[in-house]
């Protein structure tokens, strides 16, 4: 969008959050709240964005990177003062300044588009986005004149009892004509309850100068929530998560219980996958079609293929090929790669290992730093002893191998293709292909040992 710059205010500390982290970096739906604002702006095609930062500026910069320009507000003297700091970064070609707060993560791009269109159509010097709230407490109130036009905004701390009853609030989102904005900012003063330069005072300055001030009322007031406290953060989280679930359901994903399903904004899921309750899917995970996920599953930064079933399991940074069955109670740690058609059963932990197609690890096993071929069966209780107390060593298992139950594979070690290890063996040397390796002492049977023991004992008691 030509001629428009977005200025996002994010310099405040967010005292009411009671946090060491600056407010705008608190996460909602898996992303810092200011990133939601930024993405709404970007999706409108507004390519020029200026973020006004101050409190913990370096942390905010580190979180958002080089995609935006930064204006520093060294001292937080109010929202009007914050906008002034952006002025030197705004070019000649800019006509319209869209001002947003970094703490309104629920605002949708569609609503911003309506605001911009109205501003451009009416040719107003300022157009403010307002909302009607049943509980307006904490927000600036919109004071309209007898004709119903916006006259000024009064902050709650400066409002009279009558003004406090007004339910139309300032969302903190505005479009301004650039020249009119900076001229008016030069005229505002901090003579108010908080001793701050209020951006909201620009509106009455403009009206006083005979300029046109317009307003757009947001259709859905929930979009405009400003997050000032942890309670409001949790409310925003709920709304954003539900929006994500609705998008997924509309795209063909079944969510059995939206109330207990948590899916981050950037997660992608293909149609006909079913998500069972108590499932958390985070940070850029991608899931294919016709999967059954959950109940009770957490998946972070992973890729899951098609027709995969996962129940009561935790998967971190893992790749899972098509038609795998995982869990219940499996733990796939970072670097796990299952090629496809694998069975990973209960109480199995896999870490930094590649498992070939069709291989099975059905129960009670630890597989770490291993390369497992195709169609391998890893028996119950098998452990790769990959750590000698100093460093980690690899285990290799060839195609078609059969690892007997309760085998210890002391790494580094290699089991050849189609080789077999006897149950209970501790394997410390490589096993050639097609061989059997057994490592355990011969079984001794002492006949009638129990009977004899019993007779001895009763003799003692006589
Ligand atoms: C502000 C508005 C209020 C509106 C509400 C909407 C003013 C004076 N008040 O109040 O009318 O209803 O937002 O949510 O504008 N910030 C800075 N520098 C500063 C002060 C604030 O960058 O010196 C940033 C904050 O980081 C925050 C945003 O501006 O992202 C809003 O500040 P906040 O203190 O939350 O304002 P409110 O009291 O909520
Ligand atoms: Ca606020």
pTM for this prediction: 0.86
Q: What's the average model confidence in pLDDT over 434-445?
A: 95
Ligand 1 neighbourhood includes 140 CB (under 6 angstroms): yes
The pLDDT tens digits for 92-116 are: 999 999 999 999 999 999 999 999 9
Distance 200 CA to ligand 1 centre (A): 10
Predicted confidence (pLDDT) per residue in 102-157, tens digit:
999 999 999 999 999 999 999 999 999 999 999 999 999 999 999 999 999 999 99
pLDDT at 460 over 90: no
- Please give the distance, rounded to the nearest whole angstrom, from the Cα atom of residue 215 to the centre of ligand 1: 18
Mean pLDDT on 393-403: 98
Looking from the CA of residue 225, the nearest atom of ligand 1 is 14
Residue to probe by mutation, ligand 1, list 12, 21, 107, most atoms within 8 Å of CB: 12
Is the CB–ligand 1 distance for residue 86 below 6 Å? no
Q: What is the pLDDT of residue 461?
A: 73
Pocket test residue of 10, 101, 181, 191 for ligand 1, highest count of atoms within 8 A of CB? 101
**Each residue's pLDDT tens digit, 51-86:** 999 999 999 999 999 989 999 999 999 999 999 999
Q: Is 85 in the pocket of ligand 1 (CB under 6 A)?
A: no
73 lines ligand 1 (CB under 6 A): yes
Q: Does residue 382 line the site of ligand 1, with CB under 6 A?
A: no
Residue 30 confidence (pLDDT)? 87
Q: What is the 3-state secondary structure (H, E, C) of the chain?
A: CCCEEEEEEECCCCHHHCCCCCHHHCEECCEEHHHHHHHHHHHCCCCEEEEEEECEHHHHHHHHHHHCEEEECCCCCCHHHHHHHHHHHCCCCCCEEEEEECCCCCCCHHHHHHHHHHHHHHCCCEEEEEEECCCCCCCCEEEECCCCCEEEEECHHHCCHHHHCCCEEEEEEEEEEHHHHHHHHCCCCCCCCCCCCCCCHHHHHHHHCCCCEEEEECCCHHHHCCCCCHHHHHHHHHHHHHHHHHHHHHCCCEECCHHHEEECCCCEECCCCEECCCEEEECCCEECCCCEECCCCEEECCEECCCCEECCCEEECCEECCCCEECCCEEECCCCEECCCCEEEEEEEEECCEECCCCEEEEEEEEECEEECCCCEECCCCEEECECCCCECCEEECCCCEECCCCEEECCEEECCCCEECCCCEECCCECCCCEECCCCCCCCCCCHHHHHHHHHHHHHC
User: pLDDT per residue over 380-392, tens digit each?
Assistant: 999 999 999 999 9
User: What confidence score (pLDDT) does residue 281 get?
Assistant: 98
Active site residue 363: yes
Average pLDDT, rounded, for the chain: 96
**Catalytic position from the list 36, 55, 119, 363:** 363
- With a 6 A CB cut-off, is 11 part of the ligand 1 pocket? yes
Summarize the confidence of residues 443-449 as an average pLDDT: 95
Residues 24-46, mean pLDDT to the nearest whole number: 95
Cα(16) to centroid(ligand 2), Å: 10
pLDDT in tens, 221-242: 999 999 999 999 999 999 999 9
pLDDT higher than threshold 90 for residue 379 = yes
Of 226, 235, 236, the one to substitute when testing ligand 1's pocket (max ligand atoms within 8 A of C-beta) is 226
Res. 342: pLDDT tops 90: yes
Please report the pLDDT score of residue 410 as a whole number: 98
- % of the chain surpassing 90 pLDDT: 96
Q: Label residue 5 by pLDDT band (50, 70, 90).
A: very high
Q: Is the pLDDT of residue 459 over 90?
A: no
pLDDT at 456: 86
């Amino acid at each position: 969008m030509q001629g428009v710059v977005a200025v996002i205010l994010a310099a405040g500390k967010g005292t009411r959050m009671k946090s060491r982290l600056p407010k705008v970096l608190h996460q909602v739906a898996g992303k810092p709240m200011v990133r939601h604002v930024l993405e709404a702006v970007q999706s409108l095609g507004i390519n020029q964005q200026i973020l006004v930062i101050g409190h913990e500026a370096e942390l905010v910069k580190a979180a958002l990177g080089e995609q935006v320009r930064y204006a520093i507000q060294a001292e937080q003297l109010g929202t009007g003062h914050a906008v002034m700091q952006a002025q030197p970064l705004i070019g000649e070609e800019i006509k319209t300044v869209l001002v947003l707060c970094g703490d309104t993560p629920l605002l949708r791009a569609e609503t911003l588009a309506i605001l911009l269109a109205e501003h451009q159509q009416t040719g107003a010097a300022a157009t403010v986005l307002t909302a009607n709230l049943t509980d307006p407490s904490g927000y600036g109130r919109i004071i309209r004149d007898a004709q119903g036009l916006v006259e000024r905004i009064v902050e709650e701390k400066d409002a009279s009892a009558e003004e406090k009853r007004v339910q139309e609030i300032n969302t903190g989102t505005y479009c301004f004509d650039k020249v009119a904005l900076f001229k008016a900012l030069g005229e505002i003063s901090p003579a108010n309850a908080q001793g701050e330069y209020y951006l909201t005072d620009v509106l009455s300055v403009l009206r006083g100068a005979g300029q046109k001030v317009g307003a757009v009322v947001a259709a859905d007031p929930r979009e405009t929530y400003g997050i000032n406290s942890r309670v409001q953060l949790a409310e925003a989280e709920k709304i954003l998560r539900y929006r994500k679930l609705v998008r997924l359901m509309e795209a063909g994903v079944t969510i059995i219980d939206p109330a207990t399903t948590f899916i981050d904004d950037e997660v992608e899921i293909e149609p006909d996958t079913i998500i069972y309750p108590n499932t958390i899917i985070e940070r850029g995970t991608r899931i294919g079609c016709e999967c059954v996920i959950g109940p009770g599953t957490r998946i972070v930064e992973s890729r899951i293929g098609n027709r995969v079933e996962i129940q009561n399991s935790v998967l971190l940074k893992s790749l899972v090929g098509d038609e795998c069955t995982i869990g219940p109670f499996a733990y796939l740690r970072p670097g796990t790669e299952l090629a496809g058609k694998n069975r990973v059963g209960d109480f199995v932990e896999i870490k930094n290992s590649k498992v070939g197609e069709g291989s099975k690890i059905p129960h009670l096993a630890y597989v770490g730093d291993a390369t497992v071929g195709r169609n391998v069966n890893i028996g119950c209780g098998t452990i790769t002893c990959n750590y000698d107390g100093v460093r980690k060593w690899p285990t290799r298992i060839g195609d078609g191998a059969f690892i007997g139950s309760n085998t210890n594979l002391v790494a580094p070690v290699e089991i050849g293709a189609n080789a077999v290890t006897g149950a209970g063996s501790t394997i410390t040397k490589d096993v050639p292909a097609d061989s059997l390796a057994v490592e355990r002492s011969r079984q001794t049977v002492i006949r009638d040992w129990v009977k004899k023991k019993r007779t001895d004992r009763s003799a003692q008691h006589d």
